[in-house]
């Protein structure tokens, strides 16, 4: 028996309407043996930064050859390109709007195409508003079924891909300045500062009027008080033990975060 | 290897409680090879119109022979019938309360049965409140596994099926009057007016005090302003570019909508 | 073809973030043929009683040999044990914090191990905050793939498992006093009183100022009025026909409930 191929879906469609189910139907019509895994469909609508981080922090945990289809697509129906990218370990499919910037900062692109071949769409007569169903999910199902990248459309130059700007972190001997790149539903505040920069050191997060000690687990701090730790995604994160750090600390997406390191 | 069979599930059970998971368990006990796809479980509780539209706008995207199980069932435990219907391309299973009216206006019924044969229930001792687990999901799993319709229960006459009333659209040369049949979680307002009635024409939606131009994509109008278009489901829809049309236009389920066509 | 193995997942992670998708990725890397069914991921955060009831009321509906992975884990990163239990019909995996107490009151334990063998973790370098991804889901995938219990870690004595206290019901000839053990998203109030104690009898629930008649189906009472019945899980439950009993009756988790029986 051949190993089932894995696809993931990520969108801001929500699960109240049947849009996600319909994408899965379109996949099953092409190849009912594909296993489809939802990353999430409840991203803040059209929040490309949130989509970027979810993809970045998830893709490495899937089997070799997984096809990730991401549809957060404010420009659907405009002239933005629909693309497929081949990495060493995975395929990425979605609109060319910077969704994949996070992953692409870490992985080389082996091949890149624009999805111009209508033979691999659901129908040549595509909807102007639902490319997830008519272009992205079908292209993904064909890739997962062994169709070669080059069949899906014309090659594009990787350097023409749209980039999503995110402030870089800035490292000095005794401090690192970074940015909040994601806030999860628990209110945990996730920076873009890699945890290995503080590995084995004594460190804390400095906010205007407080100092949040760096530690190892949520349970290390008293219930209700803030703690900084390296999250499961590998970045420095600020949490409140059994509480909501976003609400308690009044910080929002994109906020600047300062980490101090004992020399 | 045999092609996996596909079932879909639609309900108003939500996903907070394990009710949907338990239905999938009941299916897996009968046939663990069936692939189950969720259409949605977050329909407004007992909103049969919402269920009717979700089924209508989804079923055509699934593989031949898919078994659609729909459980929005205010009359569970009463004398309403539990039914299975065979269409040319699919099977429908659920309570006989009009859920399938939308699909049945488009498809002939090849066979119709009441699910009276306890051999294909989960147990002869069925719960009075959870026919999804005890009757509908098991009957669907048996159908997906090749059990013939006639085995599931006694034949019923299609003309005895309960209908769910929905105002028809009314067409004149220069205008079409229709009804809002669905509102999605983005607040997009979906009428029952088929988009092909305005195909290639110049048209707009006339509301009390405004005129909403018919166009092709969400991005065609300025951010925050209303637009009318033919949605991915094929019906005329009113949206607000990066906004919520329901809130902005103060329209609700069942509202009357007037489309004007340039002659 | 071998029968696909079934795993279930239950957590309080929500589905807004990709945590659940990542657990499924970790499972697929070990065995892409496993079918994963979500019980729920929207439990009230860290509500062990809710998790306990969801597992108790679900496990019996799954195929023989299903592996249930449950991750409601306020003590992640502390010294609480990670465990796997073998029952006659299923495997249970999760933190040793009482999650499984409900099931274990009904089923014998055939084997119990602590998940101490890093060979069956995702990586020996486990996150301090996401054992669902790094320990529980991988251990479950290995069990579902035929790895013997004894391989997963050192045997533990069942009597050392952490218990989650829940007030027992108390039965007298004409009354039974019990406790609300779960409230579902419809606001249905689920007691811990087994329905077979009132089977064939005339009974009602006595609240401070009202008497709620025991009956068979939601539809037996007028719309908007309270009814008591034996729910699909087998326990006595208080509901409001097309309404929300929790809001209407102002009762909360753990409340004491009195059932009166006509002699």
- pLDDT for residue C2: 60
Name the residue among C15, C41, C63 with its Cβ closest to that of B28: C63
Torsion over CA: B76, B78, B80, B83 (sign): positive
Tokens of C66: 């299903």
CATH architecture of C6-160: 3-Layer(aba) Sandwich (3.40)
Pick the CATH number of A170-261 from 2.40.30.90, 3.40.50.720, 2.60.40.290, 3.40.50.300: 2.40.30.90
Residue C191, φ and ψ in degrees, nearest 5:
-85, 175
Tokens of B90: 């699919």
Strand partners, C91: C67, C86
- pLDDT for residue A1: 43
Q: Is B3's CB within 8 Å of A32's CB?
A: yes
> pLDDT tens digits for A105-134?
999 999 999 999 999 999 999 998 899 999
* A-chain residues near C43 (CB < 8 A): none
The residues near A167 (Cβ < 8 Å, ≥ 6 apart) are: A178, A179, A192, A254, A256
Q: Is A43's CB within 8 Å of C128's CB?
A: no
The answer to whether residues A96 and A154 touch, using CB atoms and an 8 Å cutoff, is no
Q: Which residue of B has its CA nearest to A75?
A: B219
- pLDDT for residue A2: 60
Q: How far is CA C195 from the centre of its chain?
A: 18
B167 sits in which H/E element: none
| DSSP letters spanning B88-104 | SSEEEEEESSSTTHHHH
Higher pLDDT, B75 or A99: A99
Task: Flag whether pLDDT at B167 surpasses 90.
Answer: no
Residues 86-145 of A with CB under 8 A from C: none
ipTM score of complex: 0.94
Q: Is C242's CB within 8 Å of B133's CB?
A: no
Cα(C258)–Cα(B142) distance, integer angstroms? 42
The answer to whether residues C226 and C240 touch, using CB atoms and an 8 Å cutoff, is yes
Measured in Å, how far apart are chain C's first and last C-alpha atoms?
Answer: 57
Name the residue among B15, B61, B184 with its Cβ closest to that of A133: B61
The answer to whether residues C237 and C215 touch, using CB atoms and an 8 Å cutoff, is no
Instruction: Count Cβ–Cβ pairs < 8 Å, chain A vs chain C.
Output: 96
* B-chain residues near C220 (CB < 8 A): 77
Give exposure, B136-155, as e/b (b: 16+ Cβ within 10 Å): bbbbbbbbbeebebeebbee
- pLDDT for residue A103: 97
Residue C190 sits at the chain B interface (C-beta within 8 Å): no
Cα(A61)–Cα(C25) distance, integer angstroms? 5
Measured between alpha carbons, how far is residue C196 from residues A69, B16, C169, C200 in Å?
A: 49, 27, 13, 8
- pLDDT for residue C1: 43
* pLDDT interval class at B2 (50, 70, 90): low
Domains of chain C: which residue ranges? 6-160, 170-261
Q: How many CB atoms lie within 10 A of CB A13?
A: 26
- Ordered per-residue pLDDT tens for chain A, 263 residues: 467 799 999 999 999 999 999 999 999 999 999 999 999 999 988 899 999 999 999 999 999 999 999 999 988 878 899 999 999 999 999 999 999 999 999 999 999 999 999 999 999 999 988 999 999 999 999 999 999 999 999 999 999 999 998 878 999 999 999 999 999 998 999 999 999 999 989 999 998 888 999 987 776 778 889 999 999 999 999 999 888 999 999 999 999 999 999 87
Cα(A225)–Cα(A201) distance, integer angstroms? 22
The answer to whether residues C5 and C33 touch, using CB atoms and an 8 Å cutoff, is yes
Measured between alpha carbons, how far is residue A250 from residues A47, A183, A187, A238, A245 in Å?
A: 20, 12, 10, 12, 8
Cα(C102)–Cα(C214) distance, integer angstroms? 25
Cα(C21)–Cα(C15) distance, integer angstroms? 8
Q: Which residue of C has its CA nearest to B131?
A: C232
Q: How many CB atoms lie within 10 A of CB C60?
A: 15
Name the residue among A39, A230, A231 with its Cβ closest to that of C18: A39
Q: Is B128's CB within 8 Å of C61's CB?
A: no
* A-chain residues near C133 (CB < 8 A): 61, 232
Q: Is B232's CB within 8 Å of A130's CB?
A: yes
Residue A150, φ and ψ in degrees, nearest 5:
-60, -25
**Is B6-160's fold the same as B170-261's?**
no
Higher pLDDT, B242 or B183: B183
Q: How far is C216 from chain B (nearest CA, A)?
A: 7
The residues near B159 (Cβ < 8 Å, ≥ 6 apart) are: none
- Ordered per-residue pLDDT tens for chain C, 263 residues: 467 799 999 999 999 999 999 999 999 999 999 999 999 999 988 899 999 999 999 999 999 999 999 999 988 878 899 999 999 999 999 999 999 999 999 999 999 999 999 999 999 999 988 999 999 999 999 999 999 999 999 999 999 999 998 878 999 999 999 999 999 998 999 999 999 999 989 999 998 888 999 987 776 778 889 999 999 999 999 999 888 999 999 999 999 999 999 87
Name the residue among A40, A229, A231 with its Cβ closest to that of C15: A40
Task: Flag whether pLDDT at B16 surpasses 90.
Answer: yes
State chain B's mean pLDDT as an integer: 94
Helix, strand or coil for residue C179?
A: strand
Q: Is A39's CB within 8 Å of C21's CB?
A: yes
Cα(B106)–Cα(B207) distance, integer angstroms? 30
Q: Is A14's CB within 8 Å of B61's CB?
A: no
* A-chain residues near B61 (CB < 8 A): 22, 25-26, 29, 122, 133
pTM (predicted TM-score): 0.95
- pLDDT for residue C35: 97
The residues near B171 (Cβ < 8 Å, ≥ 6 apart) are: B197
* pLDDT interval class at B48 (50, 70, 90): very high
* A-chain residues near B58 (CB < 8 A): 18, 21-22, 25
> pLDDT tens digits for A29-69?
999 999 999 999 999 888 999 999 999 999 999 999 999 99
Residue A229 sits at the chain C interface (C-beta within 8 Å): yes
Count, residues in chain B: 263
Strand partners, C152: none
Tokens of B119: 């051999």
Residues 30-59 of A with CB under 8 A from B: 32-33, 45-46
Name the residue among C25, C45, C129 with its Cβ closest to that of A217: C129
Beta strands in A47-202 (DSSP E): 66-71, 82-86, 90-95, 111-114, 170-172, 175-183, 189-194
Measured between alpha carbons, how far is residue C233 from residues B127, B219, C205 in Å?
A: 9, 49, 18
């Amino acid at each position: 028996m051949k190993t089932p191929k894995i696809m993931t879906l990520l969108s801001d469609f929500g699960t109240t309407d049947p849009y996600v189910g319909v994408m899965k139907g379109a996949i099953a019509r092409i190849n009912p043996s594909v296993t489809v895994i939802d990353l999430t469909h409840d991203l803040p609508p059209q929040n490309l930064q949130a989509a970027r981080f979810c993809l970045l922090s998830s893709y490495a945990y899937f089997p070799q050859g997984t096809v990730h289809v991401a549809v957060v697509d404010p420009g659907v129906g405009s002239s933005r390109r629909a693309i497929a990218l081949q990495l060493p370990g995975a395929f990425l499919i979605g609109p060319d709007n910077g969704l994949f910037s996070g992953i692409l900062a870490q992985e080389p692109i082996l091949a890149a195409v624009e999805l111009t071949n209508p033979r691999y769409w659901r129908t040549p007569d595509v909807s102007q508003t639902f490319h997830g169903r008519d272009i992205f999910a079908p292209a993904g199902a064909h890739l997962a079924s062994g169709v070669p990248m080059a069949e899906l459309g014309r090659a594009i130059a990787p350097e023409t891909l749209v980039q999503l700007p995110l402030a870089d972190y800035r490292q000095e001997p005794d401090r690192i300045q970074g940015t909040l790149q994601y806030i999860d539903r628990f209110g945990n505040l996730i920076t873009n500062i890699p945890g290995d920069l503080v590995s084995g050191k004594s460190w804390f997060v400095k906010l205007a009027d407080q100092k949040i000690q760096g530690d190892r687990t949520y349970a290390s701090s008293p219930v209700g008080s803030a703690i900084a730790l390296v999250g499961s995604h590998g970045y420095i994160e600020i949490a409140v033990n059994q509480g909501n750090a976003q609400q308690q600390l009044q910080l929002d997406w994109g906020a600047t975060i300062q980490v101090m390191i004992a020399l």
